[in-house]
Amino acid sequence: MKSNKSIKYKNSLIVDIIPEEITISLKDGPEVVKWVQDEWIEDKTLLPIICHAIRMAYTNPQELIDLHQKHIDSQKQIAINTK
């Protein structure tokens, strides 16, 4: 049986931790960040990043949401500049 831990923080973020993946998402919304087990097995440098993101989801969810939005905006800008 799979273990699933889902935690809601201040009605803004949900942290889902199962053996194969870790997902932080907006309540009733899209994923903010997601990692699958193969990623952290292949690249051990992701482990502190994942831990930091989980900590931010609990301690400062708005900052994590803002960082996610900045990342999306920068990816959009890169796409525009490469056209």
Domain map (residue ranges) of the chain: 5-81
Global pTM value:
0.75
Query: What would the two tokens of residue 58 be?
Result: 């609990």
In the predicted model, is pLDDT for residue 54 greater than 60? yes
Question: Does 35 score more than 70 pLDDT?
Answer: yes
Q: What is the pLDDT averaged over residues 11-28?
A: 89
Cα–Cα distance, 9 to 37 (Å, whole number): 23
Distance from chain centroid for Cα 29: 13
